Amino acid sequence: MAKSILDSASAILRKGVKPVDQEEKERRLSICRKCEHLLHPGAKFERCSQCGCVLRFKASLEAWGCPLDKW
């Protein structure tokens, strides 16, 4: 998980903190919610078991992506 945090921070430094539009965010969340690695489905803070990220935050930024390249 530490590597994932460093990768995420590195992506933000390279690409900046640019949000995606609402349609793209919903597309990403839809993919995550069908994934077998989803933790706490339906909870306020749904998470990915592969990277540990809170999905509603991760899906919001252009610099971040799925660790399994699903989006």
Residues 13-40: tens digit of each pLDDT: 666 678 999 999 999 999 999 999 999 9
Please report, for the chain, the start and end positions of each structural domain, with discontinuous segments joined by +.
2-58
pTM of the complete model: 0.77
Whether the per-residue pLDDT at 7 is higher than 80: the answer is: no
How much is the pLDDT for 13? 63
pLDDT of residue 63: 86
Q: What is the pLDDT of residues 42-67, one digit of tens each?
A: 999 999 999 999 999 999 999 889 99
At 7, list the tokens. 């990768």
CA distance 47 to 51: 8
